[in-house]
Amino acid sequence: VEHNCLGTGAYRSVSEWLEAIKMGRYTEAFVENGYSSMDTVTQVTLEDLRRLGVTLAGHQKKIMNSIQEIRVQLVNGMVPL
């Protein structure tokens, strides 16, 4: 796929992303609450995670770190060379 160079393109779906970081148990909560594409996932805040039922500190940390990485990749991918 063409836009694979953009960070979010590295994961084709929310489910693939969550499985990759071993947080697959939250896939349903994400999708049911409207975070069903990688674009929407980059907007997620810690507050949102709590609402989604991600209450464990380690899981929050892991998901937020991964979102942060995706944001950085997205920004870098969009910067013209």
Partner 1 sequence: MCTNVVCEWLKALRLLQYAESFVDNGYDDLEVCKQIGDPDLDAIGVLLPQHRRRIHAAVRRLKDEASKGD
Binding test (CB under 8 A) with partner 1, winner from 16, 61, 68, 72: 61
Integer Rg of the chain from CA: 12
| Per-residue binding letters, 9-48, with partner 1 (x by CB under 8 A) | -------------x--------------------------
- Write out the E strands in 1-81: none
The least CB distance from residue 21 to partner 1, in Å, is 9
Burial state string for 44-55 with b = 16 or more CB within 10 A and e = fewer than 16: beeebbeebebe
Positions that interact with partner 1 (CB under 8 A): 22, 55-63, 65
